[in-house]
Amino acid sequence: MVKLRNLEETINLKETNDTELITEIQANLVRTGYLLGSQEIDGIVGDRTLNAFAKFKKDNFMTDPYLVGKGSAKVLLELPEVKQGSGMPTNGIGWISSRFGPRGSGQHRGVDIAANCGTPVYAVANGKVQNIVTGCTVGDHSCGGGYGNVIYLSHSGQSYNETRYAHLTSVSVTSGQTVTKGQPIGTVGNTGHSTGCHLHFETRISGTAVNPLNHINPIV
Ligand SMILES: [Zn+2]
């Protein structure tokens, strides 16, 4: 892991064939939560790596989404590790397309994980189904209050006491049901206020949304 640290010239991620450097970049994107699973570290630049790197640069106020220079290398290496490791509610599938925090004129209350519709969604901890919404169809942006088909879980013994899984295609749990960590509860979708297949995932403490990346441990 020295190439990124000792980078001398600016390279274009879209054009490089430097497998070792690509591997280091991917490993750091996984470490910082921009890519969600160790299976993403393959030394090959694909759409997910490009999207993740571009997102990392945008979040850190840097231009030229695909250029890797001394400055961006340093920022990437120094970004703190996120606690979720390779888990998250899609169990390492997908990439973070939007982080928690200010977005546009408002506040994004969760993280968005872009993944194919139909990708399984798992409970991130033991808990109980507090509420579900089903029956939302793609294109009805107000359904479920914008969440579309959604699952609300309550938890105890965690650093958060509620999780929400929104925009689902299908919901496979019922209200009042107990769930265990890692249990499939539904599938990724595009229902509610959504314009592409993704999971909107929230963690809340006493009703207040907090950054999931600071609270979620790997589910497997
Ligand atoms: Zn979202």
Q: Are 164 and 216 in contact (CB under 8 A)?
A: no
| CA torsion angle 108 195 49 52 (round to 10) | -10
Residue 133's CATH number? 2.70.70.10
Considering only residues 93 and 134, tell me which one the structure prediction assigns the higher pLDDT. Answer: 134
Asked whether residue 17 falls in the same domain as residue 122, the answer is no
**Would 85 be classed as within a structural domain?**
no
- For residue 213, how far is its CA from the centre of ligand 1 (angstroms)? 13
Can you give the residue range of the structural domain that contains 19? 11-78
Please compute the mean of the pLDDT values over residues 46-62 and round it to a whole number.
91
d(CA 153, CA 219): 15
Instruction: Classify strands 11-12 and 67-68 as parallel, antiparallel or unpaired.
Output: antiparallel
Of the candidates 84, 43, 17, the one whose C-alpha atom is nearest the C-alpha of residue 220 is: 84
Centre a 10 Å sphere on the Cβ of residue 6 and count the other Cβ atoms it contains. 8
SS3 190: coil
Model confidence, pTM = 0.76
**Distance from the CA of 115 to the center of ligand 1, in angstroms?**
13
Predicted confidence (pLDDT) per residue in 65-78, tens digit: 999 999 999 999 99
Instruction: Clarify whether residues 108 and 201 are in a common domain.
Output: yes
Co-location of 19 and 51 in the same domain: yes
pLDDT digits (tens, 9 = 90+) for 105-121: 889 999 999 999 999 99
One domain, residues 150 and 202? yes
Give the total number of structural domains in the chain. 2
Task: Mark whether 188 and 124 lie in a shared domain.
Answer: yes
Report the separation in Å between the CA atom of 201 and the middle of ligand 1, taken as the mean of its atom positions.
7
